[in-house]
Structure 1
Amino acid sequence: MLKKKMLKALNDQINAEMYSSYLYLAMEAYFQSISLKGFAAWMRVQVQEEMMHGMKFYDFVNERGGKVTLEAIAKPETSWNSPLAVFEAVLKHEEHVTSLINDLVDLAIGEKDHATNNFLQWFVSEQVEEEASAGEIVEKLKLIKGDTSGLFMMDAELGKRVFTMPAPAAE
């Protein structure tokens, strides 16, 4: 059974993950609007990943006998000045999500909630990957600066990304 403070924090994280999905959907729409279909496809995968993250929290709360409480999702930003500006925003957002996950881990440790702490370790590892992926794209976009041929090559590269569900945890 989840303690009240932990339950509130996990419900807040469900909202944060759904917001992330919504934010990346707005970014996908931006890329669609400027005809960068590969960038848009990369964002669509990110939308699916974030939705899946939210559902992992949702399922965990239910498995632990808690009550999921859904709140309004904040409106995301919808326009950016460049693909680089979008991915700088992605990196900043993922760093924020990492801080949220770290706060949840700290709370779980403080509450002596070992099951939640164990559950959260997957997200700790996931955030390392999320930040590294966004950071790599930021660095590549900085390297190509405004070179359209480089941008189109990146568009083709990013368009190859596909969503794959993570393997279920070993029981």
Structure 2
Amino acid sequence: MNEKVANLLIDQINKELYSAYLYLDLANFYSDKGLDGFANWYDVQVQEEMAHADLMKQYLRNNSVRIELSAIAKPDREFTTLTDPLQIGLEHEKYVTSLIHAIYAAASDDHDFRTMEFLNWFVKEQGEEEKNAQDLLNKMTLFGDDARALYLLDNELKARVYTAPSLTL
């Protein structure tokens, strides 16, 4: 495996773990506000991001790449409204998409078709992640000022459960 591609994937493991850390922070914010459904939605996101990091770790191990982890940064965002974390979550998913695309481009430049195939799942996943984040932000923008609608949306989000990714390495 090309060293540049391997290093980008190793760095992405750190970014996925940061994503989990960020979403844990967002879950804590909503939990503190008594919005357990929103907290649950982000707790599921935490599990997904940890799984993404694990998939990348296993892929690198399967390709005999030594993985050296770096420190995970502390999320440093301030939230003043109930919508702020949702906006931050959407922006973060767009950022992660750009990172996945950069790794894919580097693998393509190196004609690393196996890594490109591996990353295809993440490209699709990021499309889903952005859509889910945008849909949640849209619902909150539409209903957030209505206490009853917010209550119903919060209850809807309580039903979300984690489903492990089905990606063959």
TM-score by length of 2: 0.96
- Overall identity of the aligned pairs, in %: 38
C-alpha RMSD over aligned residues? 1.2
Matches for 1:1-150 after TM superposition, within 5 Å: 2-77=1-76, 79-150=78-149
Structure 2 residue runs of 5 or longer lacking an equivalent are none
Partners of 1:56 and 1:167 lie apart in 2 by 10
Partners of 1:86 and 1:27 lie apart in 2 by 6
- Tell me the secondary structure at the aligned position of residue 83 of structure 2: helix
The answer as to whether partners of 1:26 and 1:78 remain within 8 angstroms in 2 is no
TM-score by length of 1: 0.95
Deviation at 1:168, TM superposition (A): 4.2
Moved over 2 A (4+): 166-169
The answer as to whether partners of 2:121 and 2:167 remain within 8 angstroms in 1 is no
Structure 1 residue runs of 5 or longer lacking an equivalent are none
Partners of 2:62 and 2:71 lie apart in 1 by 23
Deviation at 1:77, TM superposition (A): 2.9
* Alignment CA distance shift 1:168-1:124 (3 Å): closer
